[in-house]
Amino acid sequence: MAQEMRSPIESGCPDGFQYMHPVMRRNYGQWAYHEDPQPGVLLHVAHSGDKIWTVRAGTQRILDLFTLRELCDIGDKYGDGYIHFTIRSNIEYLVADESKVAPLIKALTDAGYIVGGTRNSVAMLSHTQGWLHCDIPGTDASGVVKSMMDELIDEFKGWNMPNRVHMTTSCCQINCGGQGDIAINVQHTKPPKINHDLVSNVCERPSVVARCPVAAIRPALVNGKPSLEVDEKKCICCGACYPPCPPMQINDAEHSKLSIWVGGNHSNARSKPTFQKLVASGIPNNPPRWPEATAVVKKILKTYKEDAKDWERINDWIERIGWPRFFEKTGLPFTKYHIDNWRGARASLNASTHIRF
């Protein structure tokens, strides 16, 4: 007799409504307006007259169990028992009673958490976390976040920037993360080194060849074994070949650097998207505190704070003053490496999914 089929195991996201604060559930889609009563606190008012306060504190993206338990205990004791996390790794507590806000902030502050990150502050850096779950990171993005945010606590806690600042880091040069008002991205500066003994065992060569955006990889026979070769004159050191072919190692303690890009912004109801531009390159990838990268970010933030008009985002500010003035005012050197002189795109950029040999 045929066995009864087992039912599928649902492993997607559970329905979020069951975890929502009852005031949020009741007024879903029915909010009249919101206010910012103080740094780190939001007040949302519904058409029904219901009000809900949100208290936001910065946390790291990957939380250990003990920290999570502590944060949840604070929520049970001082809040209404409802939390959620923002995309920038902030924890948010929801309370329907204004008198709970001050004790909640005190409890968080006493436990060492920083309340802030709303309105015209420097929000928590969003970051990818390659060391824990990915196969291609060139740096520890969360370490960069920790080092920078330690030095930007006042900008996180207060409302002392012209507008909000969203910063991002990424732990490789090609994939997730890395787009914001200020982005700290990995920058490889040398082509990959190929371990020819391993290529034929580990890599699907056509996939690797197809992966290169500038068609710099060719199949080759090395020491009688099928392998690959890289035309180093064409290679733009992007690192895209490393994920499908780990023997094409590109991460390097000395030659994998950090670069800083500014002015990226998503489109919104009023403006078009803006694309970030490179402003500092070749910055040492220098754990555990990344002092050189932090110094550049602080320099950009200080200049923006002093020079931008109220409510100008970084891209608005640069558009008003112009890029030459940006480099003059921040004191960042403008070098030939800032000029995008790539002319080969039309002829050789891999713009289709066809495999070339």
Residues of this chain that interact with ligand SF4 (CB under 6 A) are 128, 130, 134, 136-137, 170-172, 175-177, 191-192, 211-212, 214, 216-217, 230, 235-241, 250
Q: How far is the CB of 111 from ligand SF4 (least distance, A)?
A: 29
Contacts of 76 (CB under 8 A, 6+ apart): none
Q: Which is nearer to ligand SF4, 188 or 329 (CB)?
A: 188
Q: Which is nearer to ligand SF4, 68 or 349 (CB)?
A: 349
Q: Which is nearer to ligand SF4, 241 or 293 (CB)?
A: 241
Q: How far is the CB of 89 from ligand SF4 (least distance, A)?
A: 14
Q: Which is nearer to ligand SF4, 116 or 177 (CB)?
A: 177
Give the integer Cα–Cα distance in Å for 257 and 284.
Answer: 5
Q: Which is nearer to ligand SF4, 149 or 208 (CB)?
A: 208
Q: How far is the CB of 267 from ligand SF4 (least distance, A)?
A: 23
Q: How far is the CB of 257 from ligand SF4 (least distance, A)?
A: 15
Q: How far is the CB of 127 from ligand SF4 (least distance, A)?
A: 8
